């Protein structure tokens, strides 16, 4: 009998029928130092370079037309995470970097919203988290069933999505 995955156990424990999946990305580069920053500082983050001068949480109406509807939805989701939510952080479709839980308050710091060259910082919008599991970059968990088709930075996975099965049946 296959042991139950950590993700499945957390979902059962919290009686959750959804979780979030989040790509770790910085314009396709600098992923390893970005992950190390996230892991070591117990944070997850999000950024959009077209609205770095404005705090999405308080100025949404002012800047919503500067970005796509997809990005508006992702920023809304990130800002609305609840304390009992679970976020699976991915490197592409093939690797899990970590499983975060207990997201704290959403914070915004425009000085961290660097969109030029990676400066060693993180993103403008961050949340403190607890890592239920986190892997060293070189030992990240390869998925036997890739999370194909997940191309956004943040999305929700529920039992109706193909991502639910890929991740809850994984060896994590």
pLDDT in tens, 129-172: 999 999 999 999 898 888 888 888 899 999 999 889 889 988 77
> Residues 105, 106, 112, CA angle at the centre, nearest 5°?
135
> What span, in angstroms and rounded, lies between the C-alpha atoms of 102 and 107?
15
Q: What are phi and psi of 150, to 5 degrees?
A: -90, 100
List the CATH number of the domain containing 109. Answer: 3.10.590
Note whether residue 75 is domain-resident.
Answer: yes
Cβ neighbours for 146, distance < 8 A, ≥ 6 positions apart: 93, 94, 166
- pLDDT for 92-138, tens place per residue? 889 999 999 999 999 998 777 655 555 555 678 999 999 999 999 99
Q: DSSP assignment of 39-59, as one string?
A: HHHTEEEE--GGGTTS-HHHH
> Residue 96 falls within a domain, yes or no?
yes
Inter-residue contact 19 to 11 (CB < 8 Å) = yes
The pLDDT of residue 33: 83
Residue 94 within a domain: yes
Domain that holds residue 93: 6-168
Evaluate if pTM is beyond 0.85: yes
For the segment 22-69, what is each residue's pLDDT rounded down to a tens digit? Answer: 998 756 567 888 898 889 999 999 888 777 788 899 999 999 898 999
The number of folded domains in the chain is 1
Banded model confidence at residue 1, pLDDT cuts 50, 70, 90: very low
Is 1 a member of any domain? no
Q: Could you tell me the pLDDT band of residue 88, with boundaries at 50, 70 and 90?
A: very high
Does residue 53 fall inside a structural domain? yes
Widest Cα–Cα separation across the chain:
54
């Amino acid at each position: 009998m296959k042991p139950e995955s950590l993700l499945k156990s957390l979902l059962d424990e919290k009686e959750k029928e959804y979780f979030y999946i989040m790509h770790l990305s910085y314009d396709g580069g600098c992923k390893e130092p970005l992950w190390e920053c996230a892991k070591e500082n117990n944070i997850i983050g999000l950024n959009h370079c077209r609205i770095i001068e404005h705090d999405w949480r308080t100025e949404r109406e002012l800047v919503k037309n500067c970005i796509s509807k997809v990005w508006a939805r992702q920023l809304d989701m990130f800002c609305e995470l609840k304390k009992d939510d679970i976020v699976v952080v991915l490197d592409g479709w093939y690797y899990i970097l970590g499983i975060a839980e207990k997201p704290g308050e959403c914070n915004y710091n425009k000085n961290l919203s660097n969109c030029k060259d990676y400066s060693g910082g993180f993103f403008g919008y961050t949340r403190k988290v607890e890592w239920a599991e986190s892997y060293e970059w070189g030992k990240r968990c390869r998925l036997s069933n890739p999370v194909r088709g997940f191309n956004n930075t943040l999305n929700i996975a529920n039992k109706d999505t193909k991502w639910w099965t890929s991740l809850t049946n994984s060896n994590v």
